[in-house]
Amino acid sequence: MMHSMTAFAHRQETAAGLQVAWEMRSMNQRFLDVQFRLPEELRTLEHPLREKIARRVKRGKLMCALSVDLVGAHALELNRPLLLQLLAALEQVRRDAPEAHAANPIDLLRWPGMLKNISANEPLVAAATELFEQTLNALLEARAAEGEKLKPGILERLAEIDRIVGEVRELAGGLAAEMRARLHKRLVELEVDVNPYRLEQEVALLAQKADVAEELDRMALHLQDARSHLDRPGPHGRRLDFITQEMMREANTLAAKSVLPRASRITVDLKVAVEQIREQAQNIE
């Protein structure tokens, strides 16, 4: 199954008199990058939760935020030992720098850990961990749903590339005759007599320089590889991105070798289709 890298999930519940909520956002990233925003009291959860993500996600930037709020009327508990330490430090500052302003009580209350409105008790840790699993499942389901929406578009572009390759191959089959006719017409306009054997040599040389059979064969192999890869279990993004790079290289070579106006126009369409797949590959895990 194909997974997109862009998704969002949010879950919340009430546990141990607290409202616990997880919010997860997933964005495009070449590698796996996980960032957490947790209450200081639950910072120890980060490492085990990071491991849970690494086992299930291979690519993308994940922003995981946990919020824990009091439910109903609960008295705030002041961290008195921390307050006394801060007051002692402020008194030392006042003696060393009498011109310093007195501390604002609100600023003291904002000091990390000053108000102990939550504590990392066992019920809260269990609830936060279980809710994390639920939110991660929802995020992965959203990534899978988005990925399945991308797959038909990619297969459609691959079919278009296949059609264009067939059209270029058909044009290449009559290239020698086309070049012979154009060269002969030019010689007639210039009123120049050329040895027929010499004319055939020139046509053969020009046809050899413009031969694209090898590029078309490689493009067909890339198409087969892309379809086969999409039918296998993921992740798909990096491999598909690599395949499109190779396809674009072949498309550029075809464009450089094009000697017929129609072939030039077709190769432009080919590069557009390949680029559209490459853009989608950057959204896939």
Tens of pLDDT, residue by residue over 139-158, are 999 999 998 899 999 999 99
Selection from 151, 137, 136, 149 nearest residue 236 by Cα: 151
The beta strands (E) that lie in the chain are given as 7-15, 18-27, 32-37, 60-70
The CB density around residue 181, as the number of other CB atoms within 10 Å, is 12
pLDDT of residue 73: 45
Tens of pLDDT, residue by residue over 221-234, are 999 999 999 988 87
Q: What phi and psi values does residue 63 have, to the nearest 5 degrees?
A: -110, 115
Tens of pLDDT, residue by residue over 158-172, are 999 999 988 887 776
The CB density around residue 7, as the number of other CB atoms within 10 Å, is 22
Share of the chain above pLDDT 90, in %: 36
| Domain residue ranges of the chain, discontinuous segments joined by + | 7-74+118-144, 80-109, 148-281
- To the nearest 10°, the Cα dihedral for 237, 243, 244, 246? 150
Paired residues of 61 in beta bridges: 27, 33
- Alpha-carbon distance of 169 to 244, in angstroms, equals 20
- Alpha-carbon distance of 53 to 31, in angstroms, equals 13
Angle at 126 between CA 49 and CA 27, to 5 degrees: 30
Tens of pLDDT, residue by residue over 80-131, are 787 788 888 888 888 877 777 777 777 776 666 666 655 667 888 889 999 9
Paired residues of 26 in beta bridges: 7, 62
Higher pLDDT: 187 or 151? It is 151
- Alpha-carbon distance of 52 to 10, in angstroms, equals 17
Pull the structure tokens for residue 84: 């006394």
Q: Decide: 206 and 179 in contact? Cβ < 8 Å.
A: yes
- Alpha-carbon distance of 96 to 247, in angstroms, equals 71
pLDDT of residue 103: 74
The pLDDT of residue 276 is above 80: yes
Topology, domain 7-74+118-144: Ribosomal Protein S5; domain 2 (3.30.230)
- Alpha-carbon distance of 205 to 176, in angstroms, equals 10
- Alpha-carbon distance of 105 to 160, in angstroms, equals 69
- Alpha-carbon distance of 172 to 178, in angstroms, equals 10
- Alpha-carbon distance of 14 to 181, in angstroms, equals 82
pLDDT of residue 196: 64
Overall average pLDDT of the 11-28 stretch: 89
**Residue that is written with structure tokens 């879950």 in the block:** 11
- To the nearest 10°, the Cα dihedral for 103, 104, 110, 114? 60
The CB density around residue 26, as the number of other CB atoms within 10 Å, is 26
Question: For residue 227, which amino acid is it?
Answer: R
Distances (CA, A) of 63 to 194, 237, 272: 73, 20, 33
Distances (CA, A) of 245 to 109, 219, 234, 250, 252: 56, 11, 19, 9, 11
- Alpha-carbon distance of 98 to 35, in angstroms, equals 43
